[in-house]
């Protein structure tokens, strides 16, 4: 069951982000490649993505630049000054941190299995990620390089996104049935407790939790008979449906909650190619941001 869920939710949430137009000009233009990971600036005017290399694109000017080769699953530091990324090797996954404007990287740690869904903790001193074939949540200290398991390999736990203020993680787990949204209190973890609280309904499939900018709400996707973008208020525990998507549109993922009730999503069509969309809930508009021949997925926001 755990392996099935991990494959079903094949998406990789990795935070990356973008450079300014000046940075793009300094790096130089590149060519289109197949994109595995993308990320948007808070304004939605730029994005970066990885294929065989890390690229950056200015949406308005359609400028594109090749930046860092062999970088996957990137995640921006809270201050936007550093970028963590991964490289897969035969003996495991290697973590690196690079200063984007100097392009000087150094290895941080190694994990003996596959790593996905990497997020930088708001204090800037650790990364949270999902690892292993069945899925568990881990914390990597960037100061010591020590990796600490936060969950135990009894259930599938993944997509653990830190709250903007820290302490709490919103994540997906199947411990009560279908994959559902949980809240983990990282300060309540003991030998006998993982500090987990079920927030939603374990009878439908739920995934892609994303915090509101103020940390008081969590947006996520759910699927019963259709795809639904929902918002959960953490004070009242009440949910509301923001919008729905036709099932024949293909697979849907949520990757960022921008200011002004705007959301970044990817929608995979019947040809297995994903495109990126901006959904403005105030205007109820789904705006395509990329409709190109390449596969473009997994947006995130640079601080």
Assessment of whether the complete model's pTM goes beyond 0.95: no
The residues pairing with 84 across neighbouring beta strands, listed in sequence order, are: 75, 97
Residue 296 within any structural domain of the chain: no
Does 300 map to a domain?
Answer: no
For the chain, what is the total number of helices (H) and then of strands (E)?
A: 2, 24
Tally of domains in the chain: 1
Q: Would 26 be classed as within a structural domain?
A: yes
Residue 303 lies in a domain: no
Domain limits for position 122: 2-290
How far, in Å, CA of 162 to CA of 147, rounded? Answer: 17
**pLDDT tens digits, residue range 245-296?**
875 666 888 888 887 788 888 887 666 667 778 888 988 888 887 655 555 5
Q: What is the pLDDT of residues 38-70, one digit of tens each?
A: 555 444 455 555 545 665 555 444 444 555 666
**What is the Cα–Cα distance from 285 to 206, expressed in whole angstroms?**
23
Contact 256, 300 (CB under 8 A): yes
- Tell whether 208 is covered by a domain: yes
Determine contact, residues 264/276, Cβ cutoff 8 Å.
Answer: yes
Q: Taking the CA atoms of the chain, what radius of gyration do you get in angstroms? A: 18
Within a domain: 17: yes
DSSP letter at 121 equals -
Inside any domain, residue 227: yes
Instruction: Tell me if 299 is assigned to some domain.
Output: no
CB-CB neighbours of 170 under 10 Å: 24
User: Over the stretch 87-107, which tens digit does the pLDDT of each residue have?
Assistant: 888 999 999 988 766 667 788
CATH code (residue 209) = 2.120.10.30
Alpha carbon separation from 149 to 65, 108, 119, 188, 213 (Å, rounded): 37, 17, 15, 14, 27
- Per-residue pLDDT at 16 exceeds 80: no
Residues 6+ apart with CB under 8 A from 78: 120, 121, 122, 123, 124, 303
- pLDDT tens profile 101-152: 666 778 899 999 999 889 999 999 999 999 987 789 999 999 999 999 998 8
């Amino acid at each position: 069951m755990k392996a099935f869920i991990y494959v079903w939710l094949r998406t990789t949430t990795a935070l990356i982000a973008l450079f300014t137009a000046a940075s793009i000009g300094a790096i130089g233009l590149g060519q289109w490649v197949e994109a595995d990971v993308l990320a948007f600036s808070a304004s939605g005017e730029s994005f970066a993505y990885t294929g065989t290399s890390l690229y950056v694109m200015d949406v308005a000017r359609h400028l594109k630049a090749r930046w860092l080769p062999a970088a996957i699953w990137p995640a921006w530091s809270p201050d936007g000054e550093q970028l963590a990324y991964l490289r897969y090797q035969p003996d495991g996954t290697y973590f690196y941190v690079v200063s984007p404007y100097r392009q000087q990287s150094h290895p941080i740690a190694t994990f003996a299995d596959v790593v996905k869904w990497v997020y930088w903790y708001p204090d800037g001193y650790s990364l949270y990620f999902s690892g292993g074939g069945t899925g568990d949540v881990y914390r990597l200290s960037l100061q010591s390089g020590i990796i600490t398991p936060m969950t135990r390999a009894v259930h599938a736990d993944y997509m653990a996104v830190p709250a903007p203020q820290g302490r709490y993680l919103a994540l997906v787990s199947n411990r009560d049935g279908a994959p559902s949204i949980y809240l983990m209190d990282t300060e309540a973890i003991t030998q006998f407790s993982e500090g987990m609280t079920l927030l939603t309904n374990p009878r439908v499939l739920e995934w892609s939790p994303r915090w509101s900018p103020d940390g008081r709400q969590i947006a996520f996707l759910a699927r019963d008979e259709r795809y639904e973008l929902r918002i959960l208020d953490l004070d009242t525990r009440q949910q509301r449906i923001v919008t729905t998507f036709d099932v024949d549109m293909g697979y849907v993922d949520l990757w960022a909650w921008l200011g002004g009730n705007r959301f970044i999503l990817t929608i995979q069509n019947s040809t297995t190619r994903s495109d990126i969309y901006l959904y403005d809930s105030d205007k109820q508009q789904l705006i395509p941001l990329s409709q190109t021949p390449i596969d473009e997925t997994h947006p995130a926001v640079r601080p």
